[in-house]
Amino acid sequence: MEFVKCEAEGAVAVITIDRPKALNALNSAVLDELSATFDAIDQNVIRAIVLTGAGDKSFVAGADIGEMSTLSKEEGEAFGKKGNDVFRKIETFPIPVIAAVNGFALGGGNELAMSCDIRICAENAIFGQPEVGLGITPGFGGTQRLARLVSPGMAKQIIYTARNIKADEAYRIGLVNAVYPQEELLDQAKKMAAGIAKNAPIAVRGCKKAINDGLEANMDDALVIEEKIFGGCFESYDQREGMANFLRKKDDPNKVKVVDFKNA
């Protein structure tokens, strides 16, 4: 791979978009490599993924404006589909994906972060959807995911004005879960990923599916989705062992652990 690197550390994989000369902007090659990288993840070994950008300036500075500038309508639609297919693959990937946003997350960069399960960022992170300033609409799911993640009004303000927001504002509106000094970001993301990887993998995957599928359904159907996934956990080794373990440790005075969410 030329632009996407993947390193496994135990049960955690770190995927890095590495195209420094264009601040990690997404051209077709990056999108193809990103898709192939997720396809190659060994889901029997990896239990959580961190997605980040190379360097300390940019997560992803958007779709590649040079490549997009000469597209015809048909080519534009095909480029949009290519991105949407990869981002949907990430969003529905069975294993949780944490975006460690280490700088610019503009346009397709913010859209990529939003296709991940969880976003944390560095203090220098900048988020925005600058598309209307370029004469286009967001094309990799930005109109849909931003409105669902923050609020329709806030998403419309960000998209219509094409004004960027800083890390603290992204935190305030709930676009990111936490903000860290740049030098701590990756370790914090790996720590969170390792914390997820420690838990029962079938249950974690079930939670991701239940939350994602439930958000697309009405509450009655969503609760049925949850019931089925919940039921599916029973008789598994993890369920039997997890519950037996709790019952064995019932009298352990240290068993209730409350953790500061920022250090979870």
Burial class, 48, CB count within 10 angstroms (exposed 0-12 / middle 13-18 / buried 19+): buried
Residue in 1, 65, 173, 222 binding ligand DAK, rule: CB under 6 A? 65
Residue in 1, 11, 136, 233 binding ligand DAK, rule: CB under 6 A? 136
- DSSP-assigned letter for residue 118: E
Asked if 25 interacts with ligand DAK (CB under 6 A), we say yes
The pattern of x and - marking residues 78 through 107 that bind ligand DAK according to CB under 6 A reads -xx--x--------------------x-xx
Give the burial string for 28-47 (b: 16+ CB within 10 Å, else e).
eebbebbbebbeebeeeebb
Catalytic one of 9, 33, 111, 235: 111
- Examine the residue annotation and report whether 241 is marked as an active-site residue of this protein: no
Asked if 163 interacts with ligand DAK (CB under 6 A), we say no
Asked if 116 interacts with ligand DAK (CB under 6 A), we say no
Structural element, H or E, at residue 184: helix 182-197
Residue 195 phi/psi, 5-degree rounding, is -65, -40
Catalytic one of 91, 123, 131, 226: 131
C-alpha distances in angstroms, 107 versus 64, 118, 156, 218?
A: 10, 18, 14, 30
Q: In terms of CB distance, is 76 or 231 closer to ligand DAK?
A: 76
- Examine the residue annotation and report whether 131 is marked as an active-site residue of this protein: yes
Q: In terms of CB distance, is 108 or 206 closer to ligand DAK?
A: 108
**CA dist., res. 112 & res. 166, Å (int):** 17
Q: In terms of CB distance, is 59 or 208 closer to ligand DAK?
A: 59
C-alpha distances in angstroms, 123 versus 20, 180, 186, 191, 198?
A: 20, 6, 13, 18, 28
Residue in 3, 87, 127, 140 binding ligand DAK, rule: CB under 6 A? 140
Interface residues toward ligand DAK, by CB under 6 A: 22-23, 25, 61-66, 76, 79-80, 83, 104, 106-108, 130-131, 134, 136, 138-140
| Residues identified as active-site | 111, 131
